[in-house]
Amino acid sequence: MPRFAANLSMLFTEVPFLDRFERAAQAGFEAVEFLFPYAHTVEEIKERLDATGLQIVLHNLPAGDWDAGERGIACDPQRVDEFRAGVAKAVSYAHALGVPQLNCLAGKAPAGVDAAVLRRTFVENLRFAAAALKMAKLRLLIEPINPFDIPGFYLNRTDQAIAILDEVGADNAFVQYDIYHAQRVEGELAATLQKNLARIAHVQLADNPGRNEPGTGEINYPFLFAHLDRIGYAGWVGCEYKPAQGTEAGLGWLEKLAGKKALAPA
C-alpha cells in the first residue's frame, strides 16, 4: 500500500500551521508536505519536526504573491531574477529541513506574451533550478494543474510536462502527478501512471468532483492504490484534498480504502 503524507496546507486547517504537525502525527501520518514554509523560520518548523518525528517530503519553490492570486512565476519572462532568487531560498529551507524534492509551479501565462517566449522562459528557468538543485542533491518537480481550478495556468497535461522535461534535459527533474488535476484534464489515470512511472517522482490525491477526500467522488481509489503497488511506485502520495466536514472526521478513508488505520486525536 502506498505511503501517505498529510498536506498541511489543506489538512488540519482548524489550527494554525505550526500546530498542524502535531495533529498529523496524532492522526497516524509519518510524513507531511505543504505549499510553502517561508512564512516561518527554519527553526520554528524544525522544532515541530523534532517534537513529532515527522519528515517533510515536499514543498514548493516561492510562487509569487499567492494571496493576490499568483500561482507561480516560472513562465513569466519579467520575473526571471525573482524566480532565481526564490530557488536559492527554497534550497536553503530544504537542506535545513531534510526535504528531498521541491515543486516548481509554472504559473499563469501572462497576457500578451508569445507562446514561444513563455516556453523558452519556463525551460530556461527549469534548467537553472535543476542545476541548482542537483548541486544540493535535490529533485526538481513540475506539476500539471487543471485549467478549471486555475484558469490560464501554463502547464496542464502529463504529456506536456514530459515534453518540457525532455527539453530541459536534467536527470533530477520529474513530474509531480496530481490525480485530481489529471482526472479533470485527461483521465486515463492508471495507464498514464504506468506509462510514465520512471518520470514521476511524487503523486498527490483528491477525489473529483469537489476535491474532497478519497471515497467522496468518481475516482476508484482502492484500484489506484493497488495499481501503484503493482507498477512499483515507491514514492509518497500527498493527501492534498479539502476535507468535506473537518480533517479528522474525514480520515476514515485511510482504513476503508487504503487499509491504514488513522489514530484518534489526543
pLDDT of residue 258: 72
Catalytic residue among 143, 167, 213, 218: 143
pLDDT at 261: 67
pLDDT, residue 30, reads: 97
44 is catalytic: no
pLDDT at residue 209 greater than cutoff 50: yes
Q: What are residue 142's DSSP bridge partners? A: 104, 175
pLDDT at 2: 93
Q: Which amino acid, one-letter code, is at 178? A: D
21-35, 37-51, 161-175, 249-263: lowest mean pLDDT where?
249-263
Report residue 171's pLDDT band, with 50, 70 and 90 as the boundaries: very high
Q: What is the pLDDT of residues 54-69, one digit of tens each?
A: 999 999 999 999 999 9
pLDDT at 265 over 80: no
- Alpha-carbon distance of 176 to 102, in angstroms, equals 10
Residue 266 has pLDDT above 70, yes or no: no
In this predicted structure, the answer to whether residue 257 has a pLDDT above a threshold of 90 is no
The pLDDT of residue 222 is: 96
Kindly state the average pLDDT of the residues 118-123.
Answer: 98
Among 43, 124, 186, 240, the one annotated catalytic: 240
Q: Is 30 a catalytic residue?
A: no
Q: What pTM value is reported for the model?
A: 0.96
Q: Which residue has the cell 483521465?
A: 187
Residue 263 has pLDDT above 70, yes or no: no
> Which tens digit of pLDDT belongs to each residue from 121-168?
999 999 999 999 999 999 999 999 999 999 999 999 999 999 999 999
Summarize pLDDT for 63-105 with one digit per residue, the tens: 999 999 999 999 999 999 999 999 999 999 999 999 999 999 9
Mean pLDDT over all residues of the chain?
96
Give the residue-averaged pLDDT of 210-215: 97
